[in-house]
Amino acid sequence: MTISIALTKGRVEKQFLQYLQSRGFDVGPLIEKGRKLLVETDEFTCIFVKGWDVATYVEYGICDLGIVGEDILAETRPDVFDLMPLPFGKCRFALAGKPESIRHNRKRRIATKYPNVTQRFFREKGESVDIVKLEGSVELAPIVGLADAIVDIVETGTTLKENGLVVIEEIQLITARLIANRSALKIKKQSIQPFIEKLHGEGVYK
């Protein structure tokens, strides 16, 4: 029984393929995939989807395993088994804004792609905020006055810097994570266990 993996397209994809290669897997067919979204190798079937969709494919049992950023898991809290962190895709959730931003007494407006994470962060601080959900280019919001600050993932900080923004507060460290479908983990244990052990070293599978 081959195992199937849902993989985040783009930056994390390259890092995961390099990591697979370093662990002795043959990733040739995956690197030469071109525009294909579905690739089969001798060892596994891979589908390449948006980060936000990885957990959906795993939750519905289309894929046994998934590689996805912890940011997305924190936001969507899918019903999957969160197996382990992976040593790439490192960044952090941060509250960022203009350096000169002054705290007014009024309710602050926060722009973010992560409304649930933002809600929880401010609830724990005991502050009530208005959240504006954006899909991209969140760094633009404080510049044009849509928001007082943003909650976003920060990797190198270059995007913030280019837009004259600074990190106000760090919220959470993030890495890529290996997730699994709950029943596949039991039913396909014989295929999944050796894969995970090769990926990470022995003793991970409990």
Site membership for a second copy, residue 204 (CB under 8 A): no
Could you tell me the two tokens for 31?
């690197």
Of 63, 68, 59, the C-alpha closest to 8 is 68
The pair of three-digit structure tokens given for residue 91, joined into one six-digit string: 């960044």
Distances (CA, A) of 190 to 46, 55, 81, 156: 18, 22, 17, 40
Strand 91-97's sheet: what is its strand order? 130-133, 109-112, 149-154, 91-97, 166-174
25/72 Cα distance (integer angstroms): 26
- Does residue 56 bind a second copy (CB under 8 A)? yes
- Shortest distance in whole angstroms from residue 21 CB to a second copy: 24
Q: Does 38 bind a second copy (CB under 8 A)?
A: yes
- In the numeric block, the tokens 């390259």 are attached to 14
Considering the complex, what minimum distance in angstroms separates the CB of residue 194 from a second copy?
Answer: 23
For residues 68 and 71, what is the distance between their CA atoms, to the nearest angstrom?
8
Distance of closest approach, residue 190 Cβ to a second copy, in angstroms:
22
Q: Does 160 bind a second copy (CB under 8 A)?
A: no
Site string for a second copy, 95-134 (x = CB under 8 A): -------------------------------------xxx
Residue 1 lies near a second copy (rule: CB under 8 A) = no
Minimum separation from the CB atom of position 35 to a second copy (A):
8
Smallest gap, in angstroms, from Cβ of residue 178 to a second copy? 20
Contact residues for a second copy (CB under 8 A)? Answer: 9, 37-38, 47-50, 52-53, 56-57, 60, 62, 132-137, 140, 143-146
